[in-house]
Structure 1
Amino acid sequence: MIQRIAFVLLLTMLATPLLAQEDDPLGGASRPNPQMVLKRGGRQYKRNHQFALRLIVLDRLDEAEELLQQLLIADPGDPESHYMLGLLYAQQEKTEQAITEIRRAVVLGLPPGRVLAGPRALISELQENAFFDVLRKSLAGVPLHGPLVGNVTDHSAAFWVRTAEADKVIVTLREQADKAAPLHSAGSLSKADDDFTAVVNVDGLKANTVYSYEVTVGNHPAELTDDSPQFQTFPAPGEASKFKLAFGGGAGFVPPHERMWDTIASYHPLALLLLGDNTYIDDPESVEMQQYTYQRRQSRPEYRRLTGRTAVFTIWDDHDFGTNDCWGGPLVDKPAWKRDKAWKVYKQNWPNPGFGGGPEQPGCYYAFSIGDIDFIMLDCRYYRTTAKIDNPSMLGPVQLKWFEEELLKCHGKFKVICSSVPWDFRTKGDSLDTWNGYKEEREKIFRMIEDNNIPGVVLMSADRHRSDAWKIERAGGYPFYEFNSSRLTNQHVHPTMKKAGAIFSYNAKQSFGLVTFDTTLEDPTVMYEVINIDGERIDGLTVKLSELR
């Protein structure tokens, strides 16, 4: 009897934390704290207009106007300030003043598609204005944002766009080298429920082939020319190949640094991996803030030139999921903003191969391959628990099981595991936000690799505003090399870590990681190079497959 009572008490104790999380409106998540970064007097450009927008959404319009007028005194020619002032006047039903400010923003260089994109809830009062009619006519037949190429394989590709109104979207393409080749075409519909975005999937393509394409909206005919954008399909699964990809994170909106996207394009990567903080939202309960931060980036011509020609794959981190150093908690549907706002808006803005386990198990995790290189992209925020409990989890049990299954299916020469936060414990001092706060779970992952004798594992990550290389020594197997880079466009910078043990560490300018795989060699190699915003090679590291066995 005593043993039975003890057993019941044990079950009750084990169940108590989960029951407490079910009763908690936050579901064990950290409380969003947008006011920590969205505040008056910030020195980062990317935050100024976000703070103004937060005041507008909170109906603190007088404060917002005061802030914007101060910004315009400091920089009268900033189109972003004029645009935000126009949004403010629209909320005050001052239509004439709103149109004047928005028109001025366009004259100063704000892309016209940005105006029509919204956020829609903030421009609803202006939609019938003649100026908006003029903009719609000038952009008839073309997307407001995109095309952005994603989910490329050896035989298919996806094309993401945003349109002015709900409409049909057609992608037409053919082999770039053969103008007599038959045309491929596919279509989809943009919908208001998806913030007027659409993803067009095209299949039946040839492997490792360059295609020219055009995207049209409505009934406008496509015309393929020598100036049409191009993209390249991937090598066939398992095929030995040599290719480059670019990766990074930390992409706050800073107009003088948006040229980074052209710098990346000049290296002609086959793919671009954005590993978190791809935009800085920091207000997960505001759909308008999420839409605004995505749209200002998607409107930039430099970004559109790169992403219209390069296959893009993404995961999120704290600033594009929640707020700084946040954890989402173990539950699927609590807090409510996780699935109904952050995940929904994220899905609307990226054409990834997958989004976790779908609505029943949301997230941003998925896997894909390029030739004989396998990639596993992890979601380090949605199911994360606080690190200050026993046996904390960054991935959650469902994702961890999925990861193990995916890893065992990988047969490529190299297996690249991408995390939005650094793997090496030395990267952020004593912070528990990296894998340093989740040591046991990291050990499970590493032991999983070693127990199954899986060769060729390489780690990639973002989060720290610099570019590093690390080597994690292991007693039970080969060392893990980590390539870390997360200062694509950010002003804010973190100290270099050479003294902490990094192989190299760079923070003098914005930078990205350029990774070259060559599996055509007898001993295949992966080379990681740091390239700064001016296109200069800063440092590099080459690892042979024979070192990863």
Structure 2
Amino acid sequence: MMKRLALLLFVSLIVVPAQAKPPLTEGETDPVMLDLDPYMIKALRGNAKNSSPKNPIAPGRFGSEGSIVDLLTEPAFNKLIQKHDLKLFNGPMLGDVTPTSARVWIRTAGPASFHVVVGDQISPTIQTTAENDFTGIAYVEGLKPWTDYTYTIVLDGEEISHPAFHFKTYPTAGTPARYSIAFGSGARYVPTKEAIWKTMADTQPLAYLGLGDNVYIDATERRDVQRLHYYRRMLRREYRDFISQTPVYAVWDDHDMGDNDCAGGPGLNKPWKLPNLSVFQQNWNNPFYSHDDQAPGTWHNFTMGDVEFFMLDGRIYRSDIQDPADTTNTMLGESQKRWLLNSLKQSTAKFKVLCSGTMWHDLADKGGKDSWAGPRFRSERDEIFDLINQERIDGVLLISGDRHRTELWKTDRPGGYPLYEFLSAKVTNMHSHAPRKEAEWSFNEGNFWGEIGFDFAPTDPTVTFKAINQDGNEIKATTFKLSELSHTSNP
């Protein structure tokens, strides 16, 4: 009898889906959020405390596709917009910066036209509409490489400026420059933790990479809830200032695509895939979303001087072990994998950074349950690693998120140089995962982000991994020379 009860308990732990976490509001101090957050939560999410596929929360008063378009039909919401002067509702968000151009994303409170002025350059005028959730992206060209700029938003003829409206264009390849980028995941909206975005902004990273779990939604079939979480995060002052001055590149992971440890499986037959992807695309400012119109996703790549970043989508086509009809063994899906392998071979960057929402190393996860080390995904990971050896691709670095800690992992490879993986995944989350003694170093106290610093002034360029906490203090740091990450030094 006891064995039977234990078996039933074990099965129940496997099949009961994770419940969506309700929005956190305790400790809120931001005056905009104190007014708008409870209003939006009630309108778009309803009053339920949690949700799961078997116990879904009832839609808010606009149904499961509710949005700001519906909110703006209510006089009470419009009064709050006027009170806080939120014609520019979300943004601006910088993205897709190059040595000579930049893109600026905004969301307006209703249909509007806008353009962006950067130095002497003026973008074309963009119209925001209800069909695109009142978002728009302005593209500015003709800028100078490695140059500081301020910018102004001109919204329906009104100039909007702010001290946070500034950025720096990227260096061209071959520039002996020093710069850093920030990255992280595990960024649930937590009112008492949001100050970390100001601390991060003060370090002046040249970009921020969101490796998934950028917001915690966990409501696969609820676009109203998905939009809610983006609205509220981007209304918070510290985050708003951060994305106004720091170009952002993002992919999704489980908590912002669907629910905990979810997998999309092959193809596009699941009805939530394209609608959820559409919400994601409306709320980010990436250079592109997938290279393949027949296999849409969140993956993309971009260059920054002598560094190329490959932002990977490990969810939308990941093999779904819960679906008995899914016999694939892939994290990326065929189209994305082919793009990655070809792009790696063609890259001329000195450093190539593979950016994954989940961990690469065999021991970094809970037995490989939700990472590249899992039995269905290890062979695909090794195919990528083998290509690096076969094509003698130097300067490859790995970064990852998911586990709520920060650490450095080393993967030795016969016939090649070691692959180092920098994990950082507790930007604002409260819950921690235990440190791992098998890592080169591992830490989980407080909140933190990862910083990757590049220095191309020396003949032998360097990369430095730094873990920085919520107070701006350096927790851990490790530096490598490019020559240490090459097949010449590691035959």
TM class by shorter chain equals: 0.7 to 0.9
Instruction: Determine which of 470, 480, 505 is the counterpart of 2:409.
Output: 470
Confirm or deny: 8 A CA contact 2:101 2:143 kept in the other structure.
yes
* Ranges in structure 2 where 5+ consecutive residues have no aligned partner: 1-14, 28-32, 48-62, 487-491
Q: Per the alignment, do residues 343 and 251 of structure 1 end up closer, same or farther by CA in structure 2, a change over 3 Å counting? A: same
Decide whether aligned partners of structure 1 residues 195 and 391 sit closer, same or farther in structure 2, where only a CA change above 3 A counts: closer
Distance 1:473 1:238 in 2: 30
The DSSP-based 3-state class of the residue aligned with 2:352 is strand
Structure 1 position 488 matched with structure 2 position 427? yes
Task: Show the 5 A alignment for 1:138-537.
Answer: 142-174=87-119, 182-220=120-158, 222=159, 227=163, 229-331=165-267, 333-339=268-274, 341-357=275-291, 359-386=293-320, 392-437=329-374, 438-497=377-436, 499=437, 501-537=438-474
Return the alpha-carbon distance in structure 2 between the equivalents of residues 123 and 453 of structure 1.
Answer: 50
Distance 1:85 1:254, change over 3 A: closer
**Matched AA of 1:326:** C
Structure 1 residue 409, shift from structure 2 partner: 1.8
Shift of 1:120: 8.4
Conservation of the 8 A alpha-carbon contact between 1:528 and 1:541: yes
**Matches of 1:184 and 1:34, distance apart in 2:** 53
Give the residue type in structure 1 aligned to 2:19. Answer: V
- Contact persistence 2:40–2:228 (CA under 8 A): no
Alpha carbons 1:140, 1:217 under 8 Å: kept: no
> Which structure has the greater CA radius of gyration?
1
Q: Deviation per CA, 1:129-187, whole angstroms, max 9, x where unpaired?
A: 5544444445668410000101111111111111011111211121xxxxxxx343432
Identity, % of aligned positions? 38
Structure 2 residue matching 1:304: 3-state secondary structure:
helix
Q: TM (normalized to structure 2)?
A: 0.85
Q: Are residues 360 and 533 of structure 1, via their aligned partners in 2, closer, same or farther at CA, if it must alter by over 3 Å?
A: same
Moved more, 281-290 or 184-193: 184-193
* More off after superposition, 232-241 vs 312-321: 232-241
Q: 1:391 to 1:219 in 2, by over 3 A?
A: closer
Indicate conservation of the 8 Å contact 1:469/1:482, yes or no. yes
Q: In 2, are the aligned partners of 1:126 and 1:132 still within 8 Å (CA)?
A: yes
Number of residue pairs the alignment of both structures matches: 448
SS at match of 1:244: strand
Q: 1:394 to 1:535 in 2, by over 3 A?
A: same
Separation (CA, whole Å) in 1 of partners of 2:45 and 2:418: 58
1:83 paired with 2:39, answer: yes
Aligned to 1:12: none
The answer to whether the Cα contact below 8 Å between 1:468 and 1:504 also exists between their aligned partners in 2 is yes
Whose helix fraction is larger, Structure 1's or Structure 2's?
1
Contact kept in structure 1, 2:115 and 2:122, CA below 8 Å:
no
Structure 2 counterpart SS, 1:447: helix
CA change 1:548–1:86 in 2 (3 A) is: closer
Gap regions ≥5 residues in structure 1: 1-32, 39-46, 51-67, 92-117, 175-181
- Mapped partners of 1:399, 1:145: distance in 2: 31
Provide closer, same or farther for how the CA distance between residues 34 and 172 of structure 1 changes in structure 2, counting only shifts above 3 A. farther
Counting only pairs closer than 5 Å after superposition, residues 39-118 of structure 1 correspond to structure 2 as 47-49=21-23, 82-83=38-39, 87=43
AA of the residue aligned to 1:478: Y
| Residue of 37, 41, 46 corresponding to 2:19 | 37
| Cα separation, 2, equivalents of 1:319 and 1:544 | 35
> How many Å apart are 1:386 and its aligned residue?
3.2
* Distance change >3 Å, CA 381–CA 127, structure 1 → 2: closer
Once the two structures are TM-superposed, the CA of residue 254 in structure 1 deviates from its matched residue by 0.5
Across the aligned residues of Structure 1 and Structure 2, the Cα RMSD in angstroms comes to 2.8
Residue type of the partner of 1:165? G
Cα gap change, 1:343 to 1:126, in 2 (>3 Å): closer
Residue by residue, what CA displacement relative to the aligned partner does 1:11-45 show, whole Å, maximum 9, x if unpaired? xxxxxxxxxxxxxxxxxxxxxx996222xxxxxxx
Residues 138/327 of structure 1: CA separation in 2 closer, same or farther (3 Å cut):
same
Cα deviation for residue 514 of structure 1 reads: 1.1
Seen in structure 2, the aligned counterparts of structure 1 residues 82 and 237 have a Cα distance that, compared at 3 Å, is same
Distance 1:407 1:526 in 2: 19
SS in 1 for 2:117: strand
The separation in 1 between residues aligned to 2:400 and 2:115, in whole angstroms, is 35
Deviation string 1:416-443 (CA, Å, 9 cap, x unpaired) is 1111101001011313210011110011
Structure 1 position 266, deviation (Å): 1.4
Q: Which amino acid aligns with 1:329?
A: G
Classify the secondary structure of the residue corresponding to 1:418.
Answer: strand
Taking a change above 3 Å as real, the CA distance of residues 338 and 89 of structure 1, as seen in their structure-2 partners, is closer
Deviates more, 1:232-241 or 1:517-526: 232-241
Deviation at 1:536, TM superposition (A): 1.2
Q: Identify if the C-alpha distance between structure 1 residues 359 and 241 changes in structure 2 by more than 3 Å, giving closer, same or farther.
A: same
**Which residue is 1:548 aligned to?**
485
Q: TM-score, normalised by structure 1?
A: 0.76
